[in-house]
Structure 1
């Protein structure tokens, strides 16, 4: 017989739910409601309250070519950082799952980068990828001007993509390794007895059974790339050079706190939220069809 926990009084369940309801309202619904309100008003320059302008802020943003440039850069950043983090995480997980030399060390240390704060990580990569010091300085002496993220927008974008991906490689690694170890060994051993090499086993057996994990990490990584890249961009490039790394989340900060356009920044945050929700829905609508749960 199935045993279920029950409350003797109806108010006990509500008492347990109230703290969580207060937290959700305080840190999600209230800020989101305030952002919606600010996005439809215009703050007067010297105080005195807000003026209701409706959708004017959104019209101004959506007709601004600089904003659309930030959207394109955000998609480029999301695409390459997600592919890089997931690809490297999967490769490392496969090596550890095969118990190659050093796999136990990898298993312990690979998650550490995810625990590093984004500003600290960005500061470290800013020094490591500096063109005037270290290995890259030597490379620049051989090929002058080959690498300079301070002047070249492409180099700057590569730098922030590498730094962001490095942080999330460990996160992806843990999930991929867990999924690989959850695959019955009898399947891969039977394929090995039939003469299938490890690449064939990975392609035909393991990867199809990893699709739920791949789908989960794809949703998480894309979402994080749109909203968790601010610290890295701010420390490494400050959106430069010439706005080459001004992603959507950084433009919200720059316009709101430096340009003092709070209403426009609020409207941009609403657009970013809608974009993330839309991307998540599209992934569930079209990509989840290829996921094998059994």
Structure 2
């Protein structure tokens, strides 16, 4: 039987949701509306009015080689970070889910890194991967010039992917562990009694039943990699070297606040928002339909 909340005063429900509506409007709809308005106008760097230019800002973006290079770099970072974070988190959850001595302590230890702020993560990994003083400087001691993220774009991207995936592993671990604990124990116990080893049970029972969780985390990780990676890039590489890590969200910042191209940055933010919406729609519309259990 479905129960629905009723209020004697028709105004009371609106008063209850009014604070949340104000927060959503002030921090989401209003900035989004301003970005759309700026994207179709030419904003003066130092104020003094704006001029309606229509699709000119978008056309300039689409013919820019630097912008398409930023899109390519963002794709590499997003897919690399998501794949690494999901695979490692899944393996950790599979092993921690087994009731062994000390497993509860490991669960807490693997969750807390998600609380670390992105700038702090950037500073830590920047020192660890530093070619002169970090742990990776030992590689240069063996082979001089082998590792240098400050000069080599590939090294900088690898460093950035490791930092981004480390931040997401704890988040993914929580969901994978919750998904594993929701699997009925009689299934794995029956498989064990039939002679299936731990790896066989993981492959044939646990991992297939985690398909909805896996799909959800793919969407969340890709979206987070496209939109919430500014802090890492700003602290670790600053978009360099030679724009090798100039991802889309950082390019919006550098063009808008450093280059004072407010209109171009607003147009880029609109494109990024539409890209994330389209990516999420495609995954929910087509990928989810292919999930079937036998």
Q: Shorter-normalised TM-score: what interval? A: over 0.9
TM-superposed deviation, 1:290: 3.1
Indicate the RMSD between aligned Cα atoms, in angstroms.
1.5
Question: Normalised by the size of structure 2, how large is the TM-score?
Answer: 0.96
Q: Is the deviation greater in 276-285 or in 15-24?
A: 15-24
SS of 1:135 mapped into structure 2: coil
The 8 Å contact of residues 151 and 241 in structure 1, kept in 2 or not, is answered as yes
SS of 1:51 mapped into structure 2: strand
* Cross-structure match for 2:282: 282
Classify 1:63/1:115 alpha carbon distance in 2 versus 1 (closer, same or farther; 3 Å): same
Q: Is the deviation greater in 200-209 or in 62-71?
A: 200-209
SS of 1:10 mapped into structure 2: coil
* Cross-structure match for 1:32: 32
Question: Normalised by the size of structure 1, how large is the TM-score?
Answer: 0.96
SS of 1:111 mapped into structure 2: helix
The 8 Å contact of residues 215 and 291 in structure 1, kept in 2 or not, is answered as no
* Cross-structure match for 2:44: 44
* Cross-structure match for 1:99: 99
TM-superposed deviation, 1:253: 0.2
* Cross-structure match for 1:170: 170
What is the alpha-carbon distance in structure 2 between the residues aligned to residue 131 and residue 101 of structure 1?
39
TM-superposed deviation, 1:260: 0.3
What is the CA deviation profile of residues 94-113 of structure 1, one whole-angstrom value per residue up to 9, with x for unaligned ones?
Answer: 11111345422210111111
Q: Is the deviation greater in 268-277 or in 112-121?
A: 112-121
What is the alpha-carbon distance in structure 1 between the residues aligned to residue 47 and residue 177 of structure 2?
55
TM-superposed deviation, 1:43: 1.6
What is the alpha-carbon distance in structure 1 between the residues aligned to residue 81 and residue 91 of structure 2?
15
Q: Does 1:226 align with 2:203?
A: no
* Cross-structure match for 1:57: 57
TM-superposed deviation, 1:156: 0.1
TM-superposed deviation, 1:114: 0.7
* Cross-structure match for 1:261: 261
* Cross-structure match for 1:77: 77
Question: Which sections of structure 1, spanning at least 5 residues, go unmatched?
Answer: none
Question: Which sections of structure 2, spanning at least 5 residues, go unmatched?
Answer: none
* Cross-structure match for 1:186: 186
What is the alpha-carbon distance in structure 2 between the residues aligned to residue 290 and residue 199 of structure 1?
25
What is the CA deviation profile of residues 162-221 of structure 1, one whole-angstrom value per residue up to 9, with x for unaligned ones?
Answer: 001101101101110110011001001111111112111111111111011101111100
Q: Is the deviation greater in 94-103 or in 221-230?
A: 94-103
What is the alpha-carbon distance in structure 2 between the residues aligned to residue 63 and residue 240 of structure 1?
22
Q: Is the deviation greater in 122-131 or in 93-102?
A: 93-102
The 8 Å contact of residues 128 and 134 in structure 1, kept in 2 or not, is answered as yes
